[in-house]
């Protein structure tokens, strides 16, 4: 659909259903990039991805190729990855170190880490008598309009106006507090590099799925059952009758049956954010856990430790582009590439000061549940692709989000699913409500 032909988008979103074009129309996708991804706060990366001056990482914000770079003064900048001379991308590699300054590979214009122009070859003779003004911002690499960081997690907005990061995050900020508070040193550090997966479907399908409590015991049932069979066989052969914890990470998809997911709860917030409660029960009383507990109690005291460990979170969705699994120190950043193509970056982190065994446990979950190598991820990817194919067909006009509609509990600033209605489609309704609001506002 051509942009000028896009009809009134408010008619595309009803409280309990959404028109299929919202997922499939290329014109609507372009508007989403302008009004959502290139305007609101998008996660760039963690400060520990760029520890040294000159370290940079490429990051896609909406349609814009950007660079997150560490300056000599320790500040993290986010710049458009574009040379102001003739438009060459400044950095072709995904990440690296620029050295003392950026140097364009085409004609050797150089720039400070802040993006400010530093030098142009033979500048005096080359530009004598021209209108070039080396102090013009046009000749520096353009920075993101706003950059803010919270507990090491760097966000950028390409619009100069809008709520600050903390206001925007609201209660979803717990994602970063929960992750960092679990570290004896109160900080996490990124494990270098991530998994990257491109799914052939619209970005919103991924965001909806992240807090869709109805799907795990259906979509991942076969994977869970297979793991459970092996888990039982191994358990039989051991003295204690227990299989390694990693089997539980997968078998839970079969043993936590569909009715049990109703015990979870979703809490939905302004801007489209959402928390799915329900911890995975990965706190056995084994020696590794007890050693970690001891370090934490020594650091924080019993009372604060109990509070930290008692945070009841499964996932936090930070709309429009981030899904955080804070108790297991991992997150997925969503980078829309086209109306039917979406990149997800799957990152994980170390708790600073925690024993290696605790890291290994999170790594096992990362590999077994969130990586492209696992059947769990493949199960979801198949659904995403099939959903997109179905939505692109003429088989129906609407996507239905009516489950438990009208039963949600509304309080100022939040909408929760009702008790025993954890499989409510309240998070999808909340996301689309936020989407409609974003889309009704003009681009920056």
Rg (CA), the chain: 24
Only one of the segments 40-48, 88-96, 300-308, 380-388 lies at the binding site for Fe ion (rule: CB under 5 A); that segment is 380-388
Only one of the segments 166-174, 175-183, 378-386, 411-419 lies at the binding site for Fe ion (rule: CB under 5 A); that segment is 378-386
Which entry of ligand FES, Fe ion, none binds 85, CB below 5 to 8 A by partner kind? Answer: ligand FES
| Closest C-alpha among 175, 200, 154 to residue 61 | 154
Q: What is the pattern of x (binds Fe ion, CB under 5 A) and - over residues 327-366?
A: ----------------------------------------
Which entry of Fe ion, ligand FES, none binds 380, CB below 5 to 8 A by partner kind? Answer: Fe ion
* Binding residue for ligand FES, selected from 3, 72, 86, 232, defined by CB under 6 A: 86
Only one of the segments 36-44, 101-109, 198-206, 357-365 lies at the binding site for ligand FES (rule: CB under 6 A); that segment is 101-109
Closest distance to ligand FES from the beta carbon of 104 (Å): 3
414, β-bridge pairs: 411
3-state class (DSSP) for residue 299: helix
Only one of the segments 82-90, 299-307, 386-394, 406-414 lies at the binding site for ligand FES (rule: CB under 6 A); that segment is 82-90
3-state class (DSSP) for residue 296: helix
Smaller CB separation from ligand FES, 59 or 83 = 83
Smaller CB separation from Fe ion, 291 or 343 = 343
Sheet holding 398-400, edge to edge: 13-14, 17-19, 398-400
Which entry of Fe ion, ligand FES, none binds 104, CB below 5 to 8 A by partner kind? Answer: ligand FES
Only one of the segments 80-88, 133-141, 229-237, 289-297 lies at the binding site for ligand FES (rule: CB under 6 A); that segment is 80-88
Taking the CB of residue 77, how many other CB atoms lie within 10 A of it?
Answer: 23
Is 231 near Fe ion (CB under 5 A)?
no
Is 109 near ligand FES (CB under 6 A)?
yes
* Binding residue for ligand FES, selected from 104, 376, 399, 439, defined by CB under 6 A: 104
- Yes or no: say if 146 and 160 are a contact pair by the CB < 8 Å rule: yes
Task: Return the structure tokens found at 341.
Answer: 């193509």
> Angle 185-189-192 (CA atoms, 0-180°, nearest 5)?
160
Cβ neighbours of residue 306 under 8 Å, at least 6 residues apart? none
Smaller CB separation from Fe ion, 326 or 383 = 383
- Yes or no: say if 224 and 255 are a contact pair by the CB < 8 Å rule: yes
- Yes or no: say if 380 and 373 are a contact pair by the CB < 8 Å rule: no
Task: Return the structure tokens found at 66.
Answer: 């950007």
323, β-bridge pairs: 317, 332
Length of the chain: 444
Is 41 near ligand FES (CB under 6 A)?
no
| Closest C-alpha among 370, 274, 270, 351 to residue 308 | 351
- Residues of the shown chain interacting with ligand FES in the complex, contacts defined by CB under 6 A: 83, 85-86, 88, 104, 106-107, 109
């Amino acid at each position: 659909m051509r942009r000028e032909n896009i009809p009134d988008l408010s008619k595309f979103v009803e409280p309990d259903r959404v028109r299929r074009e919202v997922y499939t129309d290329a014109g609507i996708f372009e508007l989403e990039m302008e009004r959502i991804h290139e305007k609101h706060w998008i996660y760039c990366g963690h400060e520990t991805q760029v520890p040294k001056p000159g370290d940079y990482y490429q990051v896609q914000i909406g349609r814009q190729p950007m660079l997150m770079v560490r300056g000599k003064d320790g500040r993290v900048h986010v710049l458009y990855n574009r040379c102001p001379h003739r438009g060459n991308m400044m950095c072709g590699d995904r990440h690296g170190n620029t050295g003392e300054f950026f140097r364009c590979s085409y004609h050797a214009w150089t720039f400070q880490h802040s993006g400010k122009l530093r030098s142009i070859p033979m500048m005096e003779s080359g530009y004598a008598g021209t209108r070039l003004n080396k102090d013009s911002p046009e000749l520096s690499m353009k920075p993101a309009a706003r950059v803010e960081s919270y507990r090491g997690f760097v966000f950028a907005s390409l619009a100069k106006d809008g709520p600050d990061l903390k206001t925007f995050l609201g209660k979803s900020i717990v994602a970063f507090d929960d992750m960092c508070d679990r570290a004896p040193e109160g900080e996490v550090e990124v494990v270098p590099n991530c998994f990257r997966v491109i799914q052939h479907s619209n970005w919103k399908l991924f965001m909806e799925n992240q807090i869709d409590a109805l799907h795990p015991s259906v979509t991942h049932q076969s994977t869970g059952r297979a793991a459970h069979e092996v888990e039982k066989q191994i358990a039989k052969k051991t003295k204690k009758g227990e299989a390694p914890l990693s089997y539980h990470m997968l078998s839970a998809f079969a043993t936590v049956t569909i009715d049990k997911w109703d015990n979870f709860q979703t809490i939905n917030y302004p801007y489209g954010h959402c928390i799915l409660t329900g911890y995975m029960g990965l706190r056995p009383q084994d020696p590794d856990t007890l050693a970690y507990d001891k370090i934490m109690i020594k650091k924080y005291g019993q009372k604060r430790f109990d509070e930290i460990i008692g945070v009841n979170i499964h996932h936090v969705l930070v709309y429009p582009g981030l899904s955080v699994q804070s108790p297991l120190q991992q997150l997925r950043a969503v980078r829309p590439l086209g109306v039917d193509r979406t990149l997800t970056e799957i990152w994980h982190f170390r708790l600073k000061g925690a024993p290696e065994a605790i890291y290994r446990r999170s790594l096992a979950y990362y590999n077994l549940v969130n990586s492209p190598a696992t059947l769990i991820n493949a199960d979801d990817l198949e659904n995403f692709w099939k959903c997109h194919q179905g939505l692109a067909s003429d088989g129906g006009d609407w996507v239905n989000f009516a489950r438990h509609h009208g039963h949600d509990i509304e309080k100022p600033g939040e909408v929760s699913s009702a008790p025993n209605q954890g499989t409510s489609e309240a998070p999808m309704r909340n996301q689309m409500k936020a989407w409609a609001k974003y889309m009704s506002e003009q681009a920056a």
